[in-house]
Structures are given as structure tokens and as C-alpha cells.
Chains A and B, each alone.
Chain A
Amino acid sequence: MHRRTKKQRLRIRRYLTPFFFLLPALFFIVIFVLFPIVNTIYLSFVQENGSLGLANYQEVISRSEFINYGRPITAGPPYGAFIHNLIWIALHLPLSVFFGLLLAVLLRDVKGGAVIKSIIFLAMIIPMVVGGVMLRFMYNDDAGVVNGFLRLIGLGNMTRSWLAYANTCLLGLIVGTVWIWTGFCMVVYSAGLQGIPVELYEAAKIDGASRWRTFWRITIPQLRSATIVVVTMTLLWVLKVFDLVFIEFGGPGGSASVMAFQMYLDAFYSFNFGTASVWATLLTVMTFGIAAYMVKRMAES
């Protein structure tokens, strides 16, 4: 048996060290994250008789809780959880990005801007279930501030308990997520604004460009990477919305239900892990799609 030289031993140690450092993290991630994901995808293909196939997918996709096929748009929700997710994205994304950008730009030169930012950001800090309770309070028929405001401006005949009706619950909750998430968009855009070189604005001023023109020609293009971040993070977040929907238990007649909530119902009310895994897998695929896009755009820039 020959003994390794000191140099060799050092080289082996140098080679193995990173793996020792990685070991605890990999242990946690493999057992509690990676294996469960793979297992969920696998479970989504396990049919009732134990064989592998697409039966669970066929069942979920054919359900009215997925897409309420044949429901006219004018009839109002429930349209099905998948459609609700899409509506949620279609309304929440532009609204929160718009308000976030507007606030970031406005607050740059407003006195007390830092205070306002903290106020706006507060909704991001509190637990989402508490946010859900606050929304229900706001939309309450007698005690709620929304109806109080309507009475104040003479629209007292419109008052109602907004979240208790199928045709307003979803919209009410979407307004709620905009209230919660705008703070995030604002903060990222504020950081983006700070990164724009002052010289650009000075040059624009010398050229006599108007504020409006400066905004569109300098600010917006310079905020490109901030916008990619805001849009992808918003998509990822809003796709996973659960707590608010849970507090309303999917809304009257499932009118505000989303995929994450349907997954919960299937898994822990019906104890049908097969169909629950289908919802989860569909969500995961959508999430990875968005995440992969983000990683690719990040790698480009």
C-alpha cells in the first residue's frame, strides 16, 4: 500500500470540499422539493386501477370546475378555475404593473415619497389570509368602506356584499391582489429608476425634450430589464394565488375558484390524489414555462 503524497491528498480534498458543502442543502432539496415534484407528476398519471395513463387528465379537463364549457361570457362567473386564472392574469398584470410604474415615477420627486412607498408596500408584508379578511371587511354590505363610498357619491342603490355574489366575487378579489402586489412592482421599478444614468436626462434636457417625450424615449427603454422582472414575477405570483380564494372558499358557486384551490379541494376534501396531482402538474408546467422564459431573457441581457 502506498501512501498518497501531501499534494495528492490536498487535491482530492479540494475536489471533494464543494460536495461536502452542498450535501446538507441537496439532502433537503431532494427529499422535500425535488422528489415531491417528480412524485406529483407521477401520481397524476396513476389511474384508479393502478395502471399509468391519461384518465386523470381527461377527468379534470372535462370538468366544469376546469372550464365551464358552454357558459356564455355574459352569464358571468363561474367560468371554471382555469379561465379564472387567465382572467386573473389578464386584469391583475396590467393593473399592478401600471400602478407600480406610475408610483415609482411619481414618488421620485414627491415630498414624503419614502413614507408613501412604505404605506403602499405594507400590503405586501401582511399575511395573505389577513389580507383576505380585510378585503371581506372592505366589501361588507353595511360595515364595508366600499359601500360607504358608494353611498357618499350617491350610488347607494349599487351597494351590496360584493364578495357574496357570483358575478362580483372574482373581480373583487382581483382588485384585492392589485392592492397587495402593486407595492412589489413599485419597489422593483424604483430600483430600476435609480439605475438610469443622470446624464441621459441632462442630455434630453439640453436637447429640449419634453417631460412626456423623455419618459417614453429614456425612462421606459431603460426600465426594460426591470419590466421583465416585474412581469415574470407578477405572473408567477398571481398564478399561485390561494389564500384569498380560500378565505372566500372559492366564492359563491366556485365563481372565484382557481387551479391552486381546486387542487386543494381534490386532494384534501375528496382525497383524490390523482386528480389533485393533475391540477398541481398543470400549475407546475405553467410556472416552469414562465420561469424558463425569465431565465432565458436574463441570460440574454
Chain B
Amino acid sequence: MVKKLTIVTHIIAWAIAAIWIIPFLGVFMASIRPFNEIRNGWWNLHTFTPTLEGFFKAERYLRTISLSRSILNSFIVAVPATFIPILVAALAAYAFARFKFPTRDLLFLVIVLLQTIPQQAVIVPLFNITKNVGLFNTYIGLILVHTAFGLPWIILFLRNFFSTLPVEIEEAARIDGASYWKILYKIVLPMSLPALASVIALQFVWVWNDFFFALILIQAPQMKLSTQVIATMATDRFTLDWNMISAASITVMVVPIIIYAALQRYYVRGLVAGAVKG
């Protein structure tokens, strides 16, 4: 009875996993086979001609920008938009975790609520502001926006982590005459490496995958980020070359997948902790 149940459990679990992996299998197969061969289904295998042609087609598909350039643009935005908010948030999180000051709880509540707001709630004023100060169509503008938008959850997450660290070491350092600033970057941050790994993984993937902010704030065709290029490729013609678009999709998704594969434990831990705590 129990054995039968175990077998059934295994079958159901693997069947669901199979359903979930099929879309990935599909784009992968489509990305390495010529369009004519997959036109009637990538699962037909009586002819199988592996080719990288799709990747070359994707690279040159848009006249205004190459796929590789858009990938580079995504890095140009995502790297600073990961590390700047971490620095800024670490300072604030330290204040929340270690100091008592008036308005602390109110400020904290506001920040908790702000992490839930939709991007649509801020985009019109951000569009106007960036236009007025010359940050529209600049990566700096987009990086600043991502920094601000990522801050609430990073502050929350780091504050919760800092609160679990023992205060004794910090107090000892304090008696030895270390400044709070020095304590933060010499003691607290080095002890917080697991939390920082979580934040790096989540924030980088979030910024890399973002489409909406880029769509509005970067409109010069030759400056587009990789998610915008995918969207342009997918929407500009009625019939799609599935070989080309699959190759492009694989190229763009491989970056967050590598991050996830490398930092899986931290990624999931960050997501769960962020969700559970706030």
C-alpha cells in the first residue's frame, strides 16, 4: 500500500516536472534547428539538423541594434543597479537595526508598504522628471530608478538580517573607538555575506528581467536593453521565425539562469525570507 503510494507520488511529481520543462525544451530545440524543420513541431525528430544559424539571425535581426549590444546594455544597467542600492540600503538597514530614533517605526512601515507598489504608480512622474533633468534615454536615469525601486525590499531584508547578528562584537569595537561607519563595513557587512549574496542574486535578476521601466525610460532604438529587443522582435511581424526568436530568447534568459544556478540557495532563501518577513 505504502509502496504503491510512493510510486504514484513519483509518477505525479515527474509528470508535473515534465509539463513544466516542456516550454524550455521547446525553445531550446527550436533555437538549434532550422525554421523549416520545426515549422510543424520541434518534437518531430525524423530530420534533425543542429545549427547555430538562429543565433546569427537573431544577432542581426533588428537593423537598429544587435542582440549582443543589447545584452551589453543590460549589463551596463544591471550591474550598477545591483550594487548601488546594496550600499545605500546597507546604511539605512543598519540605522533601522541598531538605533532608536524618533519616527523609526513609521518610516519602517512606509518602506514596507512601498516595496509593494506597482511600477505603473510611479512611471508618469518619472518620465516627466527624467525628461526635465536630461536623464531620459540615459542608462544613469534607469539605474537611479532601479536603485530607488529596489531599496525598500533590500533595506527590509538587510535590516532583518542585521538584527540577527550579535551586538557584542560591535559594542566591543565601539569601546575600542571604532566609528559606526567603520563597524558597518569592517564587522557587520563581512558577517552578512550570505544575505548580500541573496540580495545580489535577486536584485540583479530583477533588474535584468525588468521590461517596463526600460520600455518607458529608454526609447532610443540603438540603446535598448535585451528584454526590449525580445519584445520588439516578437511584436514587429505577424509570422515569427521561431528559430530566430528562440535563439534570441535563449541568449537573453541564459544570464539570469546562470546567476540562479550559481547562487540558487541564496536566491531562494532571499525570496522566501523577503516574502515571509514582509
Measured CB to CB, the residues of A under 8 A from B are 15, 17-19, 21-22, 24-26, 28-29, 31-37, 39-40, 43, 99, 102-103, 106-107, 109-113, 115-116, 118-123, 125-130, 132-138, 140, 142-143, 145, 148, 179, 182, 184, 187-188, 191, 211, 225-226, 229, 233, 236, 239-240, 242-243, 246-247, 249, 259-260, 263-264, 267-268, 273, 276-277, 279-281, 283-284, 287-288, 290-292, 295, 298
Contact = CB atoms under 8 A, between A and B. Distances in A.
19 contacts: A31-B148, A32-B145, A36-B125, A116-B14, A116-B16, A125-B256, A127-B227, A130-B227, A130-B252, A134-B27, A187-B268, A187-B272, A229-B275, A229-B276, A233-B275, A273-B124, A281-B121, A283-B120, A291-B116
A119 B149 contact: no
Nearest to B228: A129
Nearest to A17: B180
Contact of B231 (A31, A107, A121, A246): A246
B39 A142 contact: yes
Contacts of B210: 127
A273 to B, nearest CB: 5
Contacts of A35: 125
Interface stretch (B47-55, B62-70, B85-93, B163-171): B85-93
Contacts of B94: 21
Contact of A243 (B30, B152, B211): B211
Instruction: List the 4 shortest-distance A-B pairs measured between CB atoms, nearest first.
Output: A32-B148, A25-B92, A36-B122, A36-B125
Interface in B143-182: 144-145, 147-149, 151-152, 155, 180
A269 B119 CA distance: 17
Nearest to B146: A32
Residue of B114, B121, B268 contacting most chain A CB atoms (<10 Å): B121
Interface string B37-59: 01111110000000000000000
Interface class of chain A by DSSP:
helix
Contacts of A236: 116
B260 A142 contact: no
A284 B118 contact: yes
A140 B152 CA distance: 40
B55 to A, nearest CB: 15
Contacts of A130: 227, 230, 249, 252-253
Given A125-B205, A246-B211, A263 B249 contact: no
A112 B101 CA distance: 50
A230 B277 CA distance: 12
Contacts of A277: 124
Contact of A143 (B22, B40, B111, B120): B40
B120 to A, nearest CB: 4
Interface class of chain B by DSSP:
helix
Interface in B2-43: 5-6, 9-10, 12-14, 16-17, 20-24, 26-27, 30, 38-43
Interface in B255-278: 256-257, 260, 264, 268, 271-272, 275-278
Nearest to A103: B16
Given A103-B13, A179-B23, A276-B124, A225 B276 contact: yes
A249 B23 contact: no
A273 B16 CA distance: 44
B222 interface: no
Given A22-B92, A99-B16, A33 B101 contact: no
Interface of B: 5-6, 9-10, 12-14, 16-17, 20-24, 26-27, 30, 38-43, 85, 88-89, 91-92, 94-95, 99, 101, 104, 107, 109-114, 116-127, 129, 144-145, 147-149, 151-152, 155, 180, 205, 208-212, 215-216, 226-227, 230-231, 234-235, 240, 242, 245-246, 249, 252-253, 256-257, 260, 264, 268, 271-272, 275-278
A65 to B, nearest CB: 15
A129 B227 contact: yes
A184 B271 contact: yes
A25 B149 contact: no
Given A137-B26, A145-B22, A247 B234 contact: yes
Residue of A125, A259, A273, A287 contacting most chain B CB atoms (<10 Å): A125
A145 B249 contact: no
Contact of B125 (A39, A106, A127, A246): A39
